[in-house]
Amino acid sequence: MKFSKRAEKISPFYVMEVAKAAQQLAQEVAHGPEPMIFLNIGEPDYTAPAQVQAAAQESIASGRTQYTNALGLEPLRQAISDWYRSRFGIQVPAQRIVVTAGASAALQLACLALINPGDEILMPDPSYPCNRHFVSAAEGVAQLIPTGAAERYQLSAEHVATHWGAQTRGVLLASPSNPTGTSIDPAELRRIHEVVQSKGGITIVDEIYLGLSYDEAFGHSALAISDDIISINSFSKYFNMTGWRLGWMVVPEAMVPVVERLAQNLFICPSTVAQHAALACFSTDSIAEFERRRAEFKARRDYFLPALRELGFGIDVMPDGAFYAWADCTPLCAKLGVQDSWEFAYALMERAHLAITPGRDFGTADTARYVRFSTANSMEQLQEAVRRMQRLFA
Ligand SMILES: Cc1ncc(COP(=O)(O)O)c(C=O)c1O
């Protein structure tokens, strides 16, 4: 069978190999003294609160399951708009909000609407692997620019100005980032957007972890900077609804009809049941529950990151959001007799039953040195993981 060049350009998720090996080993050690602890999972360990589940059941029981408008239910678009006002103090009109099948569909729609074959999109290295694949599925070219702790693993305005070439169409950033949990300084984002605008380009900011921010200095939406920025968001992370497949994006007014046309044809609409359920996310009770969970995510970060440093991992910048730690494991590789982060992840899995993610998928620049820990696990499990690493590195 012959497949498209487009499909061939999408590289496999190497980390799935590690995750599969961890699952396999987990079954073998499940009843032993040290069952597997999963610190490789990129989704909250919470599920949708009871009132959100009830809203989904009510939507099914009452037969509200037909297709909706391609842009999403009007009350949901309004509820998201209200959330921007109450949580971030910004006015985002509901007409500019497009509800989608997760941030993934929003990213796909944004790339299809804006990228022509051969257009280059600047992105930081490391970054979330699927984002460069959305660019390449639209026949664009993702240009990864190596970043470090000094710029919080994010692009700077200087990077953008220096790397902007004849084919460059724009930037795709994620703030807070996966795998680093670090955000772009708002002042730097403003400067980046100024450079992009001076070139007539586009700024797309994936803000899927914005709800899970722990530092006032960074927890602001890019939408506060300009109505021309395209912001991607989701019910997956802060709202704990990963498998429900619901997200949204905020686009400039002129882009709405273009995205609507694409969404009508490619998706018809996002899941109707998930949309009715998501309406229940914005009640006072639900928001209180999400805020309680956010505080728990922060407490885990505050415990686990210093513990990793104490163990000898290099973490040069404290994550200000999400639930990840991007840790340089090279100081510890020699202790385990391994060469790089790939081997390190396997060693941790086999010798301490800890599943983590090696850096490989997130870029090419420095990723052989880094592993990603996810703190989307209970405090007890994080404490046990630290105990096992203390023993292993002793
Ligand atoms: C940075 C980033 N963007 C987008 C996504 C996709 O999320 P969704 O479940 O909303 O499609 C993820 C998922 O982990 C992510 O980490």
Q: Which residue among 16, 108, 180, 234 is best mutated to probe the pocket of ligand 1, counting the most ligand atoms within 8 A of its Cβ?
A: 234
Residue type, 139: E
Structure tokens at 345: 């992840």
Helices 50-61 and 284-311 cross at an angle (nearest 10°) of 130
Topology of domain 50-282, per CATH? Aspartate Aminotransferase; domain 2 (3.40.640)
d(CA 332, CA 334): 6
Interval between CA 245 and ligand 1 midpoint (Å): 10
143 C-alpha vs ligand 1 centroid, how far in Å? 20
By C-alpha distance, which of 131, 99, 84, 128 is closest to 247? Answer: 99
What three-state secondary structure class fits 394?
Answer: coil
Tell me, in angstroms, the distance from the centre of ligand 1 to residue 103's CA.
Answer: 6
Rounded Cα gap, residues 252 and 97, in angstroms: 9
Nearest-CA residue for atom 7 of ligand 1: 103
Q: What is the CA(130)–ligand 1 centre distance, in A?
A: 8
| Phi and psi angles of residue 314, each rounded to the nearest 5 degrees, phi first | -90, 115
What architecture is domain 5-47+286-393?
Alpha-Beta Complex (3.90)
Taking CA atoms only, the protein residue closest to ligand 1 atom 14 is: 42
Largest CA-CA distance found in the chain, in angstroms, rounded: 61
Q: What is the pLDDT of residue 238?
A: 98
Burial of residue 124 (CB within 10 Å: 0-12, 13-18, 19+) is: buried
Rounded distance from Cα 243 to ligand 1 centre (Å)? 11
In the chain, where are the structural domains located? 5-47+286-393, 50-282
Protein residue with its CA nearest to atom 4 in ligand 1: 103
- What DSSP letter does each residue of 319-353 carry, written as one string? --BTTEEEEE-HHHHHHHT-SSHHHHHHHHHHHH-
Supply the pLDDT for residue 207: 98
Nearest atom, ligand 1, residue 245 CA = 9
User: Checking DSSP bridges between strand 370-374 and strand 357-358, what pairing results, if any?
Assistant: antiparallel
Pairing of strands 324-328, 354-355: unpaired
CA 61 to ligand 1 centroid distance, Å: 30
Q: Do domains 5-47+286-393 and 50-282 have the same CATH topology?
A: no
Q: Is 63 helix (H, G, I), strand (E, B) or coil?
A: coil
**Which tokens go with 298?**
């922060």
**CA-101 nearest atom, ligand 1:** 11
Q: For the residues of 195-249, what is the DSSP string, one character each?
A: HHHHTT-EEEEE-TTTTSB--TTT---GGGT-TTSEEEEESSSTT--GGG--EEE
Q: Whole-angstrom Cα distance, residue 122 to residue 58?
A: 44
Q: What is the pLDDT of residue 372?
A: 97
| 131 Cα: distance to centroid of ligand 1 (angstroms) | 9
For the chain, counts of helices (H) and of strands (E) = 14, 12
Locate the ligand 1 atom nearest the alpha carbon of residue 104 and give its number: 11
Q: Which of 271, 4, 256, 227 is nearest to 113 (CA)?
A: 256
- Please identify, by atom number, the ligand 1 atom nearest to the C-alpha of residue 177: 1
Give the distance (Å) from ligand 1 centre to CA of residue 105. Answer: 10
Q: Is 199 exposed, middle or buried (0-12, 13-18, 19+ CB in 10 A)?
A: middle
- Phi then psi for residue 190, to 5 deg, are -60, -45
Ligand 1: residue of 43, 45, 98, 178 to mutate (most ligand atoms within 8 A of CB) is 178
In sequence order, which residues have a C-beta less than 8 Å from that of residue 365 and are 6 or more positions away? 125, 126, 144, 146, 147
- Please list the alpha-helical segments (H only) found in 115-166: 129-137, 157-163
d(CA 282, CA 315): 35
Among 208, 237, 238, 271, which residue has the most ligand 1 atoms within 8 Å of its CB, making it the best to mutate? 208
C-alpha closest to that of 223 among 269, 191, 189, 182? 189
Give the pLDDT of the chain (394 residues) as one tens digit per residue.
999 988 888 888 787 888 899 999 999 999 999 999 999 989 999 999 999 999 999 999 999 999 999 999 999 999 999 999 999 999 999 999 999 999 999 999 999 999 999 999 999 999 999 999 999 999 999 999 999 999 999 999 999 999 999 999 999 999 999 999 999 999 999 999 999 999 999 999 999 999 999 999 999 999 999 999 999 999 999 999 999 999 999 999 999 999 999 999 999 999 999 999 999 999 999 999 999 999 999 999 999 999 999 999 999 999 999 999 999 999 999 999 999 999 999 999 999 999 999 999 899 999 999 999 999 999 999 999 999 999 999 9
Residues with CB under 6 A from ligand 1: 42, 102-104, 128, 174, 178, 206, 208, 234, 236, 242, 247
Rounded Cα distance, 207 and 44, in Å = 16
Best residue among 13, 128, 209 to mutate for probing ligand 1's pocket (most ligand atoms within 8 Å of CB) is 128
pTM reported for the whole predicted model = 0.97
* Cα 65 to averaged position of ligand 1 atoms, centre (Å): 25
State which of 100, 130, 323 you would mutate to test the pocket of ligand 1, scoring each by most atoms of that ligand within 8 A of its C-beta: 130
Using CB atoms within 10 Å of the CB of residue 126, give its burial: 0 to 12 exposed, 13 to 18 middle, 19+ buried. Answer: buried
Neighbours of 192 (CB within 10 A): 28
